[in-house]
A and B are shown apart, each in its own frame.
Chain A
Amino acid sequence: MPEYVIVALVKIALLIGGLMTAAAYFVLLERWMAAWIQDRKGPNRVGIPLTKIKLFGLGQPLADGVKFILKEEYTPGHVDKFLYSLAPISILAAALASFAVVPVGDRLPAIFGYGPFDLTAAPGIDVGMIYVFALSSIAVYGVILGGWASNNKYSFLGGLRSSAQLIAYELPMGLGILGIVLASGSLRLETIINAQASSGLWNVFWQPIGFVVFVIAAFAEAARLPFDLPEAEQELIGGYHTEYSGLRLLMYLVAEFLHMIMAAFLIVILFLGGWHFWGLTGDATGEITWGQAILRHIILMSKITGVILFFMLVRWSWPRFRFDQLMALAWKVMLPLGMVNLVVIAVLVEFQPQLIERAGGRGMASLLMIGASWLIGIICWAAVAWASPLGTDNRPVYGKIGAME
C-alpha cells in the first residue's frame, strides 16, 4: 500500500474518532450550558462506570450513547422504509465528509524523515470552501427526505421549512465568504489562514459586514436558535426527526452537532485567524517545531470551543424568528448586505497597494482599512434598521387603528 494512502487512512480515522468524541462532549457541554443559564447544575452524576467516581459528570456521553444504542429502533408502519433509513445516513455521511478539507491545525514537523504532515484529511483540495458548501447542501437531503418519508405532518412541515431555510441562507453564506476569497485569492482554507497569519490582520477586523452576514447565515445553516425553525419544539414536536428513534435519531443529533462544529470551524478559519495568535504562533511560513505545531492546534481548538460556547449562549438569549421574518432576513437584509460587503472588499483590495504607499506603511493602511470598513458597516446596519424590513404589520387591513376614533 502506498505511503500516502496509509497517511490518509490514519488521518481519516483520527478525524472521525475526534469528531464523534467532540460531538458527544459538546452534547454534554450544551446540557451544562443550558443548566447553568437556567440556574441549575446540569448532569454531574455519571463518572467512571462501575465506580463511585463522579468526575463532574464527564461520563455522561457514554451513558447517553449506551442509552441510544439500547433503545428500540422502531420503524413506524406508515413510513417509506427505504428513504426513512437513507435520510439519517445521508445527513451524517455528508456532515462527516465535509470535514475532509478542514485543517485542524497547521502541520506537523517530519517524523523519522516522513512528512511534514498537513493537519487536513485531504490537503491541497483547491476548492475546499465550495466542497464544504456542496456537502452542506447535501445535508438538506437528509432533512427533507426524513421529513417526507416519515409520513407525518409535523415531520413534513419541518422538512419543508428547513429546505427553504437552508437554500435561502446558502446565498448570504456564499456572499459572506466572497470577501475572504477576494482578499486571500484562494478557496483553500489553509491558504486563507496563512494569509491572515502572515499579515496578522484577522479578516473580522476589516470585513465586519461579511462577518455578521456569515455568522448569521452559519447559525441558520446549522439550524441553531434563533433559527431552529425546522425543529421548533413548541410548534413541530421534533420537526423532521419526530418519527425517529434509537440509532437513527442519534445519527440526526450527531449530524446536527457536526454542523455546529463545522460552522464554528468556518467562522474561526475564515474570520478569526485560524490557528494564528499575535506573538505566540510564530512565523506562518518556514520550518515548524513541535511546540509551535501543538500550540497552533491548541489555539485553533480553543477558538472553536469559544465560538461554540457563544452558539450555546445565544440559544438561551434570543427568541426564535417567525418564518416570514426568517425569509425576510435572508432575502431583504443578508443578501443586500452581502453585496455591499463584496463591493467594499473589492474596492479595498484593489486600492490596498496605493493605500500602503500613500499612508506610509502597512500598519497605517490597515488602520485606515479597518476604519473605513467599520464606518460602512455601521452605516449599512443603520440603513437596515431605518428600512426595518422585518417589521411586519399583521393587523387585518380593515381593522386599522384610528378607524374607531
Chain B
Amino acid sequence: MKSDDPDITWVEEPKLGLTGRMYLPLLVQGLTTTARHLISPKVTVSFPEERPQIGNPLIYRGVHRLNKDAEGRVKCVACFLCATACPAHCIDIIAAESPWPDREKYPESFVIDELRCIFCGMCEEACPVDAVELTSLMDLTGRSREEMIFDKEKLLSVYDMTKDAEPMKSIALGGTV
C-alpha cells in the first residue's frame, strides 16, 4: 500500500502549545499519577491469610462436584453428554445398569482429571439432569498427580462439603429440578 493510497486517512498529530512543548505539564502529570498510585489502596490479596472475594459463587467455575438427589443417590444418569462436551477430554465415565427404577443407567465410576480440566464449564452446561456442577473452591492443590484425579466418591464428598454454602444451581437459578 502506497502512502498516497486513497484508503489511507492521515491523522494530524495534536498540536502542542508552548507549555506542552516545555514538557512541564506532562512531567507533572506523570509524576502525580505515579504518586497517587503510590499511596492508593493496594489490590493485592495476601492469599493464604486472606481469602479472595468471589463475586457470585453460584457462577464461579472451580472444582467439580457430583450432586446428590433428595434420597442421597448420585444424580448422574451416565448419559456421557458431559464427557462428549468436554474439550479437554478429562471426564471418564463407566456406566452400569441402574439399581433404581427411575433411570436406566447410573455411573459405576465417574472420574475427572482435575489436572487436564480447563474449567470451562461445558460439562455443567451439557448435563441434562444438573448432576455435575462447578463449585467456587479455587485453591485446588495436591502432592501427586494421582491425588488430582477425582473419582466418584471424592466428587460426591465435594458436594457434601459445599452443599450448604452453595445450593444446587438448578434450584437457585430457577432450574428444572
Contact = CB atoms under 8 A, between A and B. Distances in A.
B173 interface: no
Contacts, number: 67
A386 B6 CA distance: 34
Closest 7 CB pairs of A and B: A399-B3, A317-B30, A385-B21, A385-B22, A41-B44, A317-B34, A396-B3
A353 B34 CA distance: 45
B21 A40 contact: no
Contact of B42 (A41, A313, A385, A396): A41
A395 B19 CA distance: 24
6 contacts: A36-B39, A39-B40, A39-B44, A317-B30, A391-B21, A395-B10
A316 interface: yes
Contacts of A313: 31, 34-35, 38
A385 B23 contact: yes
Interface residues of B, number: 28
Interface string B30-59: 110111011111111010000000000000
B12 A401 contact: yes
B37 A318 contact: no
B42 A37 contact: no
A39 B3 contact: no
A223 to B, nearest CB: 19
B35 A381 contact: no
A44 B12 CA distance: 47
B22 A381 contact: yes
Given A39-B43, A399-B3, A404-B4, 4 more contacts: A39-B44, A317-B31, A388-B21, A404-B6
Nearest to B36: A37
A38 interface: yes
Contacts of B23: 385
Interface of B: 3-4, 6, 8, 10, 12, 16, 18-19, 21-23, 26-27, 30-31, 33-35, 37-44, 46
Contacts of A382: 18, 22
A403 interface: yes
B25 to A, nearest CB: 11
Interface of A: 33, 35-41, 44, 313-314, 316-318, 381-382, 384-386, 388, 391, 395-396, 398-399, 401, 403-404
Given A313-B38, A317-B31, A399 B10 contact: yes
A399 B44 contact: no
Contacts of B30: 317-318
B4 A37 contact: no
Contacts of A399: 3-4, 8, 10
A318 B27 contact: yes
B22 to A, nearest CB: 4
Contacts of B10: 395, 399, 401, 404
Contacts of A388: 16, 21
Given A36-B38, A39-B40, A41-B42, A398 B3 contact: yes
A399 B35 CA distance: 42
Given A385-B23, A401-B10, A40 B34 contact: no
Contacts of B41: 39
A326 to B, nearest CB: 14
Nearest to B44: A41
A139 B35 CA distance: 32
Nearest to A42: B44
B169 to A, nearest CB: 34
Contacts of A396: 3
B42 A386 contact: no
Contacts of B4: 398-399, 403-404
A40 B22 contact: no
B43 A40 contact: yes
Nearest to B43: A39
Contacts of A398: 3-4
A41 B46 contact: yes
A40 B3 contact: no
B20 to A, nearest CB: 8
B80 to A, nearest CB: 45
Contacts of B21: 385-386, 388, 391
Contact of B34 (A35, A316, A395): A316
Given A313-B34, A395-B10, A40 B42 contact: yes
A38 to B, nearest CB: 7
A399 B8 CA distance: 10
Contacts of A44: 46
Contacts of B35: 313
A37 B22 contact: no
A102 B39 CA distance: 34
Contacts of A386: 18, 21
Contact of B38 (A37, A41, A391, A401): A37
Nearest to B28: A317
Nearest to B2: A399
Contacts of B16: 388, 391
A36 B37 contact: yes
Given A316-B34, A399-B10, A40 B18 contact: no
A38 B33 CA distance: 11
A37 B37 contact: yes
A250 to B, nearest CB: 27
B42 A36 contact: yes
